[in-house]
Structures are given as structure tokens and as C-alpha cells.
Structure 1
Amino acid sequence: MDLLRLALYQPDIPQNAGTLLRLSACLGVAVDIIEPCGFVLDERKIRRAGMDYIEQARYTRHSSWEAFVATLTSGGRRLVLLTTGGEVRHDRFPFAPGDTIMVGRESSGVPAAVSERAEARIRIPMRAAARSLNVAVAAAIATAEALRRLEGFPDEERQ
């Protein structure tokens, strides 16, 4: 089982998806892409954003929310939704091995039924005047905090 996974719910901006696939490659966190996407997944913009890291990223495409939930359930994974409406701050949340952090669509987040399915809803604290962070930035912040807590950062040795 992966220590941590990142799920993208129906992403609609290819540059953000590419950035998160690059994050996957660099930090060793697998990504679940829940379709339909708002773009063609192999679109040139994803390759440009992910650069040459795309080939190193580990990701799974799920044809629907239901297909993703079936995989999540069979793997015994906990779904943690990153949302501006989260009840718990990301830096106070007790991440556990096997968690899947999910981010919603850039344009609309996730539907209520998806939010209700999450076992936890977390948020990143921001100034009151701010609405939200870019989804790729928010996912990177939460993923890094979870890896820090789980002592799951990759080995930094370089050759």
C-alpha cells in the first residue's frame, strides 16, 4: 500500500494536473485522476507543465467517481478532502499511512455527495479576505505536510 496518495477530482485545468503529476514524480506520491477531465489527459499543456517528469509520475485514471470509490474501498484507504470548508486545519490533522488527499475541480470543487463520502475535510488556514489557493499549490502544501508527519519524504541522495 502506498504511504500516501493524491486524488484529483475531475480536474479542469491541464497545467495544474501537469504540476501535480510533477509533484508525484518528485515526492513519490501516486496520483488518482478521477474522470471526466475538462481536457484531453495527454494534452500538450500537461506535458509542458509536467515537463520530463510525466514519465516518472505514478498515476491511475479512474473512469468515474464510482470507479474511484470502488478502488478506494477495496484498498481500505481513508479519503481526506482538502477544501476551503474543511473543519480541521491541515497542520493539525492526524494523517495516517494509506490516506488519500483529494482536491476538487478548480472551477467548482466537489459535489456535496463527494464531500460527504470523505472521512475528513481539511483546510489550509488563510487570511479572511482570501477565497482560495490555486488547487496545485494547495495540494502541494497538504501533501508536503502529510509526508512530513508520516516521515515519508523520499531519500535525498543524488548521484
Structure 2
Amino acid sequence: MNIVLHEPEIPFNTGAIGRTCVATDTALHLIKPYGFELTDKYLKRAGMDYWSKLSLTEYASYEVFLQQNRENLSAAGKVGRKLWFATTKAEQTYADVKFGPDDYIMFGKESAGIPEEILAPNKDACIRIPMWGDIRSLNLSNAVAVILYEALRQQDFAALEKKGALHRLQWEGERKY
């Protein structure tokens, strides 16, 4: 999977998203400008010691992102990697679509989301997280986790290690051999 952050503003969110990407073997793509420096202590604190393990690609603009990934992407509903746009303005939810194992999911900056100039020509690829009432949006790192884990669930968590063992003890009724 691929997570794309369009002009992220808050270093803690980007750090937390980077940590989630490492934990799920997901590539992170960052589109400039950022509201922080990649050396920001809050970004590093949120990403903990995982940041060095992150598959990270940076782009000068959305146009550069498209140019460098155009051959990898296809329109929603077509065969190939898709670019999905997470936005509160979408009609369909993230649970309404079928994610592929190499799809890209884009999220916008915390204060404004993805620009409507990007969304308007991509209505069929726009997805949202349902929310109650007049809540504007979820925290960006939470939104990424919700949608990313649904995409991974649809792939039966194929690339993720299956775990279930306790660290110090054993599950009740199991024997340690």
C-alpha cells in the first residue's frame, strides 16, 4: 500500500503516520510544501525510532507526484494501482470500495484537506469516513489508520506477520514446549 500526504502541516501527525506505515510495510509519499521540517523533533518523537525504517518519497508538488507515478496509476474502477482521495466531501465511504494491494490513498493537509481542484475530476475515486453530526473531520493520523487498515483487511493482512504470543507468560490452557 501507499499513503500520500498532500502538504501536511502538523509534524506529530506525519510522525505518527510514518510509524503506522512502518508497522504495516506501507510506503509514505509526502507532497510539499510541509508545515514543518523533516528534522522536527515532534515528527521524530511521534515516529519514535521507526523513522529510519520508513519507505519515504518526497515530491515538490502534486504535479510532480503524478508525473513520477503516472505509469503506476490507473483510474478508479480500472485494472492496476489506483489513487484514492480521502475527503469528507465524498459520497462513497472507504468501505464501499475495493482496494488493491498496491493502491495509493491520498490525504490532505489538516486545515483544508485535499484541494477541490484535485477532487473535482476524481469523484469516483473519492472516499470518506462516516461521521456523526457536524464534526468536520477526524485527526489526520487516525483517518489514515482507519482507511489503511481497511485496505489491508481487504488483502487479508497478506504482508503482515501473524502474531498472537504473549511476551512473558503463555495463554491459559497452552503448554510451552
What is the TM-score with the length of structure 1 in the denominator?
0.91
> What is the distance in 2 between the residues matched to 1:78 and 1:71?
14
1:1-32: CA deviations, max 9, x gaps? xxx10000000000000000000110111010
> What is the distance in 1 between the residues matched to 2:135 and 2:115?
22
Query: Corresponding residue for 1:155?
Result: 161
Query: Corresponding residue for 2:117?
Result: 113
Corresponding position: 1:102 with 2:130? no
Q: Is the 8 A contact 1:6 1:29 kept in 2?
A: yes
> What is the distance in 2 between the residues matched to 1:117 and 1:7?
18
Query: What letter corresponds to residue 104 of structure 1 in structure 2?
Result: G
Query: Corresponding residue for 2:57?
Result: 60
| Change in CA separation of 1:20 and 1:117 when aligned onto 2, cut-off 3 Å | farther
Q: Extract unaligned runs of 5+ from structure 2.
A: 74-80, 168-177
Query: Corresponding residue for 1:37?
Result: 34
1:125-157: CA deviations, max 9, x gaps? 111232210011001100000010022351135
1:64-112: CA deviations, max 9, x gaps? 1111011221223321011111121111211123210010000111212
> Larger RCO: Structure 1 or Structure 2 (Cα < 8 Å, ≥ 6 residues apart)?
1
Map 1:1-159 to 2 at 5 A: 4-76=1-73, 77-118=81-122, 120-151=125-156, 152-157=158-163
Paired-residue identity, %: 35
Select between 35-44 and 117-126 the one with higher mean Cα deviation.
117-126
Q: Is the 8 A contact 2:101 2:152 kept in 1?
A: no
Query: What letter corresponds to residue 113 of structure 1 in structure 2?
Result: E
> What is the distance in 2 between the residues matched to 1:68 and 1:114?
12
Alignment length (residue pairs): 156
| Change in CA separation of 1:35 and 1:128 when aligned onto 2, cut-off 3 Å | same
